[in-house]
Amino acid sequence: MTNEEKIRKHVSSNMCRKVYSRSCQHCNHVLNKQLLYRLPSFLLLLISVPSYIIMPIQVMATSGNANTELPLYFGWFVETDYSSSFLNRSWKLLADTLQEIPDFLKDVQNFTQQTYVTDILLHYTRENPNEVLHCTAMYNGVYPNYVPGAQEYSEKQVVKDNLNQVSTLHSIGWILTPRTFGARIKLTKNQLLLWNQNDTEGNPTHSELKAKTSIPLITDSHNLRVYKENSTDQDPDVMGNFQPTSGNGSKAHLTLGCSPGVGAVTTGYDLVDLIRLEGINGSEVKTYDLPNGGWLRNYGDGQWVFYPTKQFLLESTFHGYESGTAGTCQLAASFSILCLSCAFAILTMFKQEL
Ligand SMILES: *[C@@H]1O[C@H](CO)[C@@H](O)[C@H](O)[C@H]1NC(C)=O
Ligand SMILES: *[C@@H]1O[C@H](CO)[C@@H](O)[C@H](O)[C@H]1NC(C)=O
Ligand SMILES: *[C@@H]1O[C@H](CO)[C@@H](O)[C@H](O)[C@H]1NC(C)=O
Ligand SMILES: *[C@@H]1O[C@H](CO)[C@@H](O)[C@H](O)[C@H]1NC(C)=O
Ligand SMILES: *[C@@H]1O[C@H](CO)[C@@H](O)[C@H](O)[C@H]1NC(C)=O
Ligand SMILES: *[C@@H]1O[C@H](CO)[C@@H](O)[C@H](O)[C@H]1NC(C)=O
């Protein structure tokens, strides 16, 4: 009998197994081995325990009180093919106008610090270039810090009735500032019923640009694949009007691009500021004819507005946008399952060893 076999025989006897006598040299040998194997599995079991305690709490918090689960925001999401073709249109309009109107080019070159039109276009990017364009109707914020009235909004009958309904967004113009490039939306009467944004909230301190953080440049963002387009003449009250929208719903917009370090939320502020300037209509405001019809106006400080003769009709669906925090629960679950299986695997290994 080898030493190993002796130990095995001794250990398999009930005495050695149950009493774990420290005085027994063989038992000590096995016990030490046992501890060595058990330590990682105990640790893993320990790690998985909190997940099992936290998970049911999380699930209860979200499903037990279903009312607290709100999307990050509600809005109109442009159908993919309309979204792509409208982006294409918008970049083309910007490129054409830069090439045709020297004053415009000079000012934009100055504030973007870019010389060439292609580089100016790349200066404005979208954070998620693969997402369709959207017009936010109501911003809720993130649980548990919802904005006041978020719960009430989601419970409104008109909101519930309009969820997943298709309607047409009317894009009646564009704005360009040192911060943002955006499309100006004129909401219909029915869309206004869903509108819940502050139409008078402009940029906090005008000249201040936020700290530069570089958003990855994705060059194919202006070149999505599928195209569908629907445009028509401007409504008579919009045509040739240098303040085509104001008041209720006038902040409605699509963010087409932001300069480096600027958040999409700024487009709405820029639009509010411009609408206020349109109302003042100072003598220093310059008007230029657009090459393909319509007007371009400069309100100073690099703030430009396009008043085209055509509007674009964008098929859209009203719904909520989830911020994607539900993933944490699943993550905790898979992590604890992983820990458990590891613990089992190690324990099984140890048993076979005996
Ligand atoms: C999209 O834009 C590119 C470049 O601006 C242009 O060549 C192309 O024809 C456009 N496609 C459509 C379908 O509008
Ligand atoms: C260029 O931009 C700076 C601010 O960035 C401004 O002070 C200056 O007046 C601008 N120059 C022209 C010619 O517009
Ligand atoms: C364009 O949009 C209008 C308004 O939604 C709709 O009535 C019309 O049928 C659309 N035309 C095409 C060609 O899609
Ligand atoms: C905006 O217009 C809609 C529809 O006419 C109306 O229900 C809503 O109360 C208005 N909101 C404000 C702030 O005036
Ligand atoms: C809208 O924003 C303005 C400026 O920040 C503020 O004075 C006003 O109280 C806000 N209105 C509402 C209804 O929150
Ligand atoms: C702005 O002023 C110009 C002349 O300076 C005038 O022709 C135009 O009608 C005015 N527009 C608005 C919206 O007041």
Reported as a single tens digit per residue, the pLDDT across 120-164 is: 999 999 998 989 999 999 999 998 899 999 999 999 999 999 999
Residue 220 confidence (pLDDT) above 80: no
Residue 18 confidence (pLDDT) above 80: no
Question: Ligand 5 center to residue 200 CA distance, Å?
Answer: 6
Ligand 4, atom 10, residue with closest C-alpha? 248
Ligand 5, atom 2, residue with closest C-alpha? 201
Residue 14 confidence (pLDDT) above 90: no
Which pLDDT score is estimated for 31?
46
> Residue 45: what are its φ and ψ, rounded to 5°?
-60, -40
Closest ligand relative to 302 C-alpha: 2
Which pLDDT score is estimated for 291?
87
Question: Ligand 4 center to residue 80 CA distance, Å?
Answer: 29
Which pLDDT score is estimated for 214?
38
Question: Ligand 1 center to residue 81 CA distance, Å?
Answer: 13
Question: Ligand 4 center to residue 62 CA distance, Å?
Answer: 32
Which pLDDT score is estimated for 1?
59
Closest by CA position to 321, among listed 135, 95, 187, 50: 135
Question: Ligand 6 center to residue 283 CA distance, Å?
Answer: 9
Q: Where residue 65 falls among pLDDT bands split at 50, 70, 90?
A: very low
**Percentage with pLDDT > 70 across the chain:** 66
Q: pLDDT per residue over 168-215, tens digit each?
A: 999 999 999 999 999 999 999 999 999 999 999 999 864 444 433 434
> What ranges make up the beta strands (E) of 202-309?
231-233, 253-258, 286-289, 295-298, 304-307
Give the ligand 3 atom nearest the CA of 168.
5
Choose between 157 and 26: higher pLDDT.
157
Q: Are 305 and 274 in contact (CB under 8 A)?
A: yes
Ligand 4 within 6 A of CB of 192: yes
Ligand 2, atom 1, residue with closest C-alpha? 110
Which pLDDT score is estimated for 182?
98
Question: Ligand 3 site: residues with CB under 6 angstroms?
Answer: 168, 230, 313
Question: Ligand 1 center to residue 88 CA distance, Å?
Answer: 6
Ligand 4, atom 14, residue with closest C-alpha? 248
Q: Where residue 281 falls among pLDDT bands split at 50, 70, 90?
A: confident
Residue 26 confidence (pLDDT) above 70: no
Closest ligand relative to 241 C-alpha: 6
Closest ligand relative to 92 C-alpha: 1
Between 268-282, 316-330, 339-353, the lowest mean confidence (pLDDT) is in: 339-353
Question: Ligand 1 center to residue 257 CA distance, Å?
Answer: 18
Q: Are 316 and 135 in contact (CB under 8 A)?
A: yes
Residue 6 confidence (pLDDT) above 70: no
Domains and CATH numbers, the chain: 3-62+333-353 (no CATH), 72-320 (3.90.1740.10)
Choose between 354 and 125: higher pLDDT.
125
Choose between 42 and 132: higher pLDDT.
132
Q: How far apart, in whole angstroms, are the C-alpha atoms of residue 97 and residue 292?
A: 9
Which pLDDT score is estimated for 329?
42
Ligand 3, atom 1, residue with closest C-alpha? 230
**Percentage with pLDDT > 90 across the chain:** 60
Residue 60 confidence (pLDDT) above 80: no
**Six token digits for residue 333:** 């679950």
Choose between 353 and 150: higher pLDDT.
150
56: left (phi over 0), alpha (psi -120 to 50) or beta: alpha
Question: Ligand 5 site: residues with CB under 6 angstroms?
Answer: 198, 200-201
Q: How far apart, in whole angstroms, are the C-alpha atoms of residue 19 and residue 43?
A: 25
Question: Ligand 6 site: residues with CB under 6 angstroms?
Answer: 242-243, 281
Which pLDDT score is estimated for 282?
84
Ligand 1, atom 6, residue with closest C-alpha? 88
Q: How far apart, in whole angstroms, are the C-alpha atoms of residue 223 and residue 64?
A: 45
Closest by CA position to 100, among listed 290, 294, 308: 290
Q: How far is CA 151 from CA 15, 28, 59, 69, 325, in A?
A: 67, 64, 20, 9, 18
Q: Are 184 and 297 in contact (CB under 8 A)?
A: no
Ligand 5 pocket check: which of 198, 271, 272, 275 to mutate, most ligand atoms within 8 Å of Cβ? 198
Q: What is residue 11's three-state secondary structure? A: helix
Residue 326 confidence (pLDDT) above 50: no
Residue 11 confidence (pLDDT) above 70: no
Ligand 2, atom 4, residue with closest C-alpha? 111
**Six token digits for residue 218:** 């994705």
Ligand 1 pocket check: which of 81, 84, 88 to mutate, most ligand atoms within 8 Å of Cβ? 88
